[in-house]
A and B are shown apart, each in its own frame.
Chain A
Amino acid sequence: DQQVKQNSPSLSVQEGRISILNCDYTNSMFDYFLWYKKYPAEGPTFLISISSIKDKNEDGRFTVFLNKSAKHLSLHIVPSQPGDSAVYFCAATSGNQFYFGTGTSLTVIP
């Protein structure tokens, strides 16, 4: 059973606008969440993370929001750039094991 879900397989956004990628989880024991970016034929690259004691973490153009009561997190990219076009994975952990979503393919249109 998928413990971390990304229900949108793809998303298209105009350059300069906001991209919002969503992720839901089912396990209330998860206490650390991460977002990764992946280009074809490469390994995932870490973007940003958030601990369950916070509800927001910001790093430049990237902001992650965590809503524990809804078991939902989102990644906001503002402004979106063509180089942001990639597959984005969310992941969650409560210890040593990590659980990944199925990914959202973001296309930023110039």
Chain B
Amino acid sequence: NAGVTQTPKFQVLKTGQSMTLQCAQDMNHNSMYWYRQDPGMGLRLIYYSASEGTTDKGEVPNGYNVSRLNKREFSLRLESAAPSQTSVYFCAIWTGKQETQYFGPGTRLLVL
């Protein structure tokens, strides 16, 4: 998906476990995003990073933390997973207005 990679592709966690979702881009753009997609809810923004070293909350940040490690990588961490965090997580980059967002292939997370 246009130079945005995500790992893992699928993960099962037990309630209370922690994990980090990884996202990397090879397109050298500043802005990176984490979304979650749930049935009937569309895509909702969790966190975004407008540039290396900066992060901001989106619509649904509770229960998540992020790290913009460098320009290329933006990780999403669940410190104590809950069943409500069962979702499909997408990472995206923004190339600027008059352009577009490119999305990664997604990570399917199941929290039992």
Chain A residues within CB distance 8 Å of chain B: 4, 6, 9, 32, 34, 36, 41-46, 49, 51, 89, 91, 96-103
- Neighbouring B residues of A36 by C-beta, 8 Å: 103
Q: Are A98 and B45 in contact (CB under 8 A)?
A: yes
Q: Are B31 and A42 in contact (CB under 8 A)?
A: no
Known contacts A89-B42, A100-B44, A103-B42: does B90 contact A43 (CB below 8 Å)?
A: yes
Instruction: Find the residue from A44, A45, A99 having the highest chain B CB count within 10 A.
Output: A44
B84-112 residues with Cβ-Cβ distance < 8 A to A are 90, 92, 94, 97-98, 100-106
Q: Are B40 and A102 in contact (CB under 8 A)?
A: yes
Q: Are B97 and A89 in contact (CB under 8 A)?
A: no
Q: Are A45 and B41 in contact (CB under 8 A)?
A: no
Known contacts A46-B100, A51-B98, A96-B31: does B42 contact A101 (CB below 8 Å)?
A: yes
Cα of A49 to Cα of B101 in the assembled complex, Å? 11
Interface size band for B: 20 to 34
Which secondary structure dominates chain B's binding surface?
A: strand
Cα of A9 to Cα of B39 in the assembled complex, Å? 11
- Neighbouring A residues of B103 by C-beta, 8 Å: 36, 43-45
Name which residue of chain A comes closest to B100, CB basis.
A46
- Neighbouring A residues of B94 by C-beta, 8 Å: 96, 98
B1-58 residues with Cβ-Cβ distance < 8 A to A are 1, 4, 31, 33, 35, 40-45, 48, 50, 56, 58
Name which residue of chain B comes closest to A5, CB basis.
B42
Cα of A41 to Cα of B105 in the assembled complex, Å? 7
Q: Are B106 and A100 in contact (CB under 8 A)?
A: no
Cα of A9 to Cα of B40 in the assembled complex, Å? 8
Cα of A46 to Cα of B44 in the assembled complex, Å? 17
Known contacts A41-B106, A43-B1: does B43 contact A89 (CB below 8 Å)?
A: yes
Q: Chain A nearest CB: distance from B110 CB in Å?
A: 14
Name which residue of chain B comes closest to A3, CB basis.
B59
Known contacts A41-B106, A43-B1, A43-B105: does B43 contact A100 (CB below 8 Å)?
A: yes
